[in-house]
Structure 1
């Protein structure tokens, strides 16, 4: 079972929008594949999209799921684990899943969802404290890190592929998500902060270029590898929303080239961190979704099911051009082809 995680510790790189469209398109093109989407983000934007988006009661539907007993979300599952964090209780993770197609007819029926939850922020301090508890003979950090792995072990034979969306941080619940994945999809923007974000990402996940050996002892990579656990490999670098940065003379184009050079250098020095052996194999360019994206996310609608023409969003009439919509589909297809 392949587990993909969408992550960058920099905000605004388009993780959730790319995750939503990619998951839906993959499921649509592979109707016999069983797909699980996991939203490890307190904002739960991915879950709201799956459950209807802004215009189709996505928020209300998510609150309904969170109001059940047990609470049908990642927060509900973590709430179960908190009282006895270092032992695995008797539970069925299926009790926490949602079938988004029952709320949103735009979603393929072969997708299940473990929804996001604002409880994650409240739980983070407690989880982090527990992970740093000293108990002789127990690796408390790895016991906490394995919470999501414990859950997926129950359904390993029921799903073919798992997609995990994360928030822009490296908090303890984000580390739980990343440690569960075997492949990393890293969206970046065409700005210098995204170049720094890539460098930061490799420091945080792989322990590269840390400022001091002091940090190495406590790094995510060191602790995971000391427990004989493997790190996820970078599978796709998605250069996102590049439309406004086009042009060979553009300073942004220079940044994009610098990002490619950085990735190429890392492939040469640390090939084990990648599933690809050249930049061309691993980088996908995604142009800005513009109005098509705004409409799709307001309606909780994959691009391939979204109509073109004049549409109503809230109280506004907007125009979705068919050629723009097709460009968006083509961009997502470029990602899906690499999965």
Structure 2
């Protein structure tokens, strides 16, 4: 049975795309007998650019070419087919939307496929929301729309073992479609108090916790899914991202991070069904700051395990990647992948 991980936080800038890229490539590299599918449900399509080669490897040109095919080879191309027929899955060829990044980027494992992101999602968003909220007798319009990605995965007939979904930092309709298709949620956070609030907001949006009024409960994402007898994704990992290399017990960073741990500990005690583990230490993952190694990796669309230390040319500039820092990056991502 396929396992589907969604990387999401309602707050932007938490590093969800960079973590998704590294985690899925590490996972694919270490599980060569599995078939991995990445689904980029973000109009910025940064995950797709990275997989296609990053800035230095002209990943944006490859992505643009996919978006300009007669049938857009993207998630937006699939949504385009669904818009005229939103409530029952049409007969489609899923391969029309699937790309093979290794054809363009030699550092990506051969067992990874991609449904690329697309800025057209923003244009489609209002139409998708309207279709989901139509009132049609005997037709559960919202859940039929929320299942669009599930419908697409069903057409693949068990072709993939693991799916990684990069979701937009919003709670728009296409983001909800992405989250509704996931089994497990990876929630990146930063070492600051705004991320602490972001966790609370995320749990409110996805699980309906601490809504400001009962008025909102009937419209909540969790309420609608549960009404249809559907499972919500379980929080599988909270990745404390971009920690300084020099975090110590007395630092301000550690105080904030400890408060995040305490919040999660309380949530696990009060709402154990929302988590895939029953101990805080099994949910929290610490990710060190990637520093220059991260800049080079993402410019080249290169996973950390395939990157070499030393001086290299990136977009006409010579950059030094220190072996110690690169190894820290590898170790951090390995901890996240081990948690998966």
* Counterpart contact for 1:41–1:120, Cα < 8 Å: yes
Deviation of residue 312 (structure 1)?
Answer: 1.0
Corresponding residue of 1:331:
332
* Counterpart contact for 1:245–1:252, Cα < 8 Å: no
Residue 339 of structure 2 aligns to a residue whose secondary structure is: coil
Residues matched between the structures, number: 339
* Aligned pairs for 1:1-339 within 5 A: 1-243=2-244, 246-339=247-340
Deviations 1:150-183 (A, max 9, x none): 0001114110000000111010000000000010
Deviation of residue 245 (structure 1)?
Answer: 6.8
CA distance in 1, matches of 2:158, 2:169: 30
Q: TM-score, structure 2 length as denominator?
A: 0.98
Query: Could you tell which deviates more after superposition, 242-251 or 221-230?
Result: 242-251
Q: TM-score, structure 1 length as denominator?
A: 0.99
Residue 337 of structure 1 aligns to a residue whose secondary structure is: helix
CA distance in 1, matches of 2:157, 2:143: 20
Gaps of 5+ in 2: none
CA distance in 2, matches of 1:143, 1:93: 18
CA distance in 2, matches of 1:275, 1:177: 19
Deviation of residue 248 (structure 1)?
Answer: 2.2
CA distance in 2, matches of 1:246, 1:170: 32
Deviations 1:121-146 (A, max 9, x none): 00001101111111011111101100
* Counterpart contact for 1:245–1:253, Cα < 8 Å: no
Deviations 1:162-206 (A, max 9, x none): 000011101000000000001000000000000000000000000
Deviation of residue 247 (structure 1)?
Answer: 2.5
CA distance in 2, matches of 1:322, 1:244: 14
Query: Could you tell which deviates more after superposition, 110-119 or 311-320?
Result: 311-320
Gaps of 5+ in 1: none
CA distance in 2, matches of 1:214, 1:250: 41
Two-structure CA RMSD over aligned residues (Å): 0.9
